[in-house]
Structure 1
Amino acid sequence: MKTEREKMTNAEPFLTNDPQLMEDKKNARILCSRFNDSPEDESVRKSILKELLGSCTENIAVKPPFHCDYGYNIFVGDDFFMNFDCVFLDAAPIRIGTNCMIGPKTCIYAIGHPLDAEGRRKKIGIPKPVNIGDNVWIGGGVTILPGVTIGNNTVVAAASVVTKSFPEDVVVAGNPARIIKHLKESNKSDNAIRNEEAKVSDA
């Protein structure tokens, strides 16, 4: 029989008030408190993050305060920067690729709850993983909801509410977020303009 933690990490409905999970949350709060109260010493902060998170590299910079539910379900790639006052609810895994930046006051939620009141009274959580690709820039005040995947090189504008998944190489904005620009097409247009300018200058 699966434990509630096994159910949670496998993205299956679980009991949020399970004693072991409550203890895990307590441990995460202790580590977050140590991190948030740490002196201006990057080596100390990195040491705490390595203990708190599921994985990260030496090339990580997170500005306090930072809060999360468990920590061990957060997996961060190389060259990661996150600004002040972010919140990760990591019941399901939150995976972030390499060379990513996250602005201040961004929230990533990898858990939801039943719509029916009886399910909520029973303290049932519904975990859904969040996956963020490589080279992604997420602006300040963004909210990313459970089950979302964001493709490589994509930009999420400040204050967006991301309710669904998006492909790579786009800019998304709004509430709910929608695609406002395709970056590859934009790059092609920029290259075409530069080529035309070069032809004029050579004439």
Structure 2
Amino acid sequence: MRTMRERINEGLLFTDNCEGLPEERTAAKRLMYLFNNSDPADIKGRTTLISQMFGISAQQAATFWVEPPFCFAYGTHIKVGSGTYINASCNFIDDGTLTIGDHVMFGPNVNIATVSHPINPAMRGYMYASPVTIGNDCWIGAGVTICPGVTIGAGTTIGAGSVVTKDIPANVVAVGNPCRVLREIGPDDLNNYNHGHPFDPSDLDEERQLRDQPFQSER
């Protein structure tokens, strides 16, 4: 006989009230509470909490960043690559596995679900999990919802407010509800930003110089 955890991993119907699952979620909620109420200036403390939430080393936790408030079911089912930024008020329901690549950017209020329920009302109390995968270098816009079982290819941009119900290929711009591919990412995207404003080397050099200067408050 399978365990309930095995049923979750195999995408079979399950309930989450046995095998220590409720206790795991309670422990996750405690960490969530501490993180969401932490001091913004306590970077070391927040990094420690991130490592505990995701069940990873402090060294791994220091390679990406999460802005509170942040909500999740277990935390330990979320795998995050280096250089990724998760903006405020994101909600990742990780009963199933959620895999996020390197250098992914999430806007605020992104919802990702790895679990769903049968449409049959009589069976609605059951759940089933389907993993979600987001490739390297994706940009997930503000207010996007990603449904169970979806894979988003590397380099893709998902427009704000989209509802992603099916797989989206790599290196495209996709928008809408349901989310559909608008176009492939092309030379104009690689050479310009903000509706045709070019990436100018002198402008980028000025930005880098400003970035490296010590900040002096006017207060």
TM-score, normalized by length of structure 2? 0.81
Matched, 1:73 2:77: yes
Q: 1:97 to 1:188 in 2, by over 3 A?
A: closer
Provide, for residues 55-91 of structure 1, a one-character-per-residue CA deviation record: whole Å limited to 9, x for no partner.
Answer: 4541211110001011111000000101110101101
Partners in 2 of 1:30 and 1:14 — Cα distance? 24
2:97 maps to which of 56, 76, 93: 93
Greater displacement, 34-43 / 132-141: 34-43
Matched, 1:106 2:110: yes
The one-letter amino acid paired with 1:42 is I
Q: How far has the Cα of 1:143 moved from its partner?
A: 0.2
Q: How far has the Cα of 1:7 moved from its partner?
A: 1.9
Q: How far has the Cα of 1:38 moved from its partner?
A: 0.8
The one-letter amino acid paired with 2:8 is M
Matched, 1:18 2:18: yes
Greater displacement, 1-10 / 43-52: 1-10
Residue identity over aligned pairs, in percent, reads 37
Partners in 2 of 1:126 and 1:50 — Cα distance? 27
Provide, for residues 2-58 of structure 1, a one-character-per-residue CA deviation record: whole Å limited to 9, x for no partner.
Answer: 321232233332112335211111111111001001111121111111111154541
Q: Counterpart in 1 of 2:145?
A: 143
Provide, for residues 99-153 of structure 1, a one-character-per-residue CA deviation record: whole Å limited to 9, x for no partner.
Answer: 1110100000000001111212xx3111000000000000100000000000000
Q: How far has the Cα of 1:186 moved from its partner?
A: 4.9
Partners in 1 of 2:80 and 2:181 — Cα distance? 25
1:173 maps to which of 166, 175, 185: 175
Query: Does 1 or 2 have the higher relative contact order (CA < 8 Å, sep 6+)?
Result: 1
The one-letter amino acid paired with 1:139 is G
Partners in 1 of 2:46 and 2:9 — Cα distance? 26
* Residue segments in structure 1 that go unaligned for 5+ positions in a row: 191-203
Q: Work out whether residues 38 and 45 of structure 1, in 8 Å CA contact, stay in contact via their aligned partners in 2.
A: yes
